[in-house]
Amino acid sequence: MDNQSSSKQVKATLACASAPTKEQLASLKEAVLKKYNLTEDELDLRLTEDPSVGGGFILRVGSDEYDWSTKGRERQFRDFVDRVKDNKTAGPDDIISILKGSADEFNLRAKSERVGTVERVGDGIARITGIDYSMYGEVLTFESGVKGMVQDVKEDSIGAILFGRGDEVGEGDRVVRTKKRAGVPVGDEFIGRVINALGEPIDGKGRIREEDYLPIEQPAPGIVDRKSVSEPLETGILAIDSMFPIGRGQRELIIGDRQTGKTSIAMDTIINQKGKNCICIYCAIGQKASSVAHLVQTLTAAGAMEYTIVCCTTAAESAALQYIAPYSATSLAEFFMHKGQDVLIVYDDLSKHAVAYRALSLLLGRSPGREAYPGDVFYLHSRLLERSSRLSDKLGGGSITALPIIETQDGDVSAYIPTNVISITDGQIFLETDLFFAGQRPAINVGLSVSRVGGAAQKKAMKKACGSLRIDLAQYREMAVFTEFSSDLDKATQDQLTNGRVLMELLKQPLGHPLSMADEVITLVVGTNRIMMDVEPAKVKEFQNAMLSSFRSRHPEIVEGIRREGNLTDDMKESILKYGKEFHDQWMAEQSGEEKAAGKAIESAAVQKA
């Protein structure tokens, strides 16, 4: 307890069930004067009779409280039992023996606590008076057991966000400081589980034994502690791995309008990490519970929940829980990163996170700025995403790769929150609504998407195979616009348009079917060398699947060589082109034969009908 000295009168209250004797009161008063270095004139001690106190007394001096009452003993012992249960793993049958063995350790003390009073409460926000020296981000405990976190510190009061139901906190309730920053339990047992923003399991599979307890907000690694991004994190999506590669430790934004496949890209990326020693964390912020349940079901069916943690705060939960969810998920990711492991974390989505923070800030009375967001909303996401990095070998070499998702309105990437996150991240994958409804899925806009890490996060085989893919697609899109109303085209222009259409078809990929790096390399080598020029666009995917199946069954040495070495030698490339051309000729002959047979069948049916 801090000693207080003041020239003003200090008010003190002694609450007890029955009045103390004169000797007891004098002894208590003398102890207070000595503790706070006061004179008798400076202490205003008042007695109040409160039957609810039971035995003992409660002494309040300023914002300090000394609780030596029956009610206080019950509360202290209840907290002690909770700590015993948390620190020791035991089933229901063992709890009695644990309590018997630990009861001797319990030491009841009338220790001082910083105690405040709820002045007003509403909309998940509590305004509290009487607590001095409280720190930003500190956890507070309310009389009902509900926890809160300090989010606003003023001269005469503090504002706290509530982590429980607001109707369990009322005006005049007692509030106690914990002197601890908000944190979340972490451990290996969280893998494969669905938890909420406080780290509590919500999948009905029982309690999770934690190994540590980390603050939800921690400083990002410094420059010296980081290592450059050079190792790829393969998504299994051909368009991304070839043109906008993502490296381990990178932050790549997925941005686009509602219902354009943003979550699908993140989900395919998680599924593609199977067997690649990468732990995945999916953080749902303000999503529908049914959508999260469907995603968990999909990941389970694909075997991806074996290495995935889902941190979920639904749209029905409070803005406070939606606000802390991504920080809690990142602390969980940092636990694995500092153990030397690679982690992929998906924030779905940060637009709803910003909206939740705006709601809290406005309720706390902060001045709104641009688009009604508070002035520190940029810091909200920068301090979150800066924690994603690749650590140096000295610190274990672990990494956190972040895929934040942002929802735009009518494709407006120049809005406040999108531009904020674009400037924080190392690139963005922009999904276009027109492409999506035109059947191009994933609907990636090649012109607006970029990876600022680029080829540094690509295997040599992929770098050589993709060649001029991005330039070819850009030229095709430009040419397609200019020749939309033109009928007389030269041979070179026609070939360019045909090649562009084939490449666009190749980049289409069904949901939940990520490709291996070897499959992507073979597809790119065959596609960029115009071997599929005469394949009908509608049959390009059929040709691709049949060709890859043929390579795996007839030429497994090529597939294995690419996978093992991660490089594409000239001999490998020549072999791929040779076998690709052979397969093309065979496939086209089969297609021609099938067409002739179908034509004869139609003619025969027509003759019979006549």
* φ, ψ dihedrals at 346, nearest 5°: -115, 125
Give the whole-angstrom CA distance, residue 133 versus residue 217.
20
Neighbouring C-beta atoms of residue 510, cutoff 10 Å? 9
Residue of 226, 366, 383, 452 with catalytic role: 452
**Closest C-alpha to 126, from 91, 152, 100, 94:** 152
547-578 burial string, b = 16+ CB within 10 Å, else e?
bbebbbeebeebbebbeeebebeeebbebbee
**Neighbour count for residue 2 (Cβ, 10 Å):** 9
Of 222, 261, 219, the residue nearest 239 (C-alpha) = 261
Element (H, E) at 178: strand 174-181
Distance CA 335, CA 213 (A): 10
Dihedral of CA 215/216/221/226: which sign? positive
- Cβ neighbors of 518 (< 8 A, separation 6 or more) are 558, 559, 560, 562, 563
What DSSP designation does 201 have? Answer: B
552 is catalytic: no
Residue pair 116/130 in contact (Cβ under 8 Å)? The answer is yes
Helix axes of 556-565 and 517-528: crossing angle, nearest 10 degrees: 110
H or E element, residue 265 = helix 262-271
Q: In 416-556, where do the E strands start and end?
A: 427-431, 450-451
For residue 256, which phi and psi values (nearest 5 degrees)?
170, 175
Residue 276, both tokens: 């690649």
**The dihedral formed by the CA atoms of 402, 332, 376 and 255, expressed in degrees to the nearest 10:** 30
> How far apart (Å, rounded) are the C-alpha atoms in residues 467 and 478?
19
* Contacts for 574 with CB less than 8 Å, ≥ 6 apart: none
Radius of gyration of the chain (CA): 32
Residues carrying an active site annotation = 452
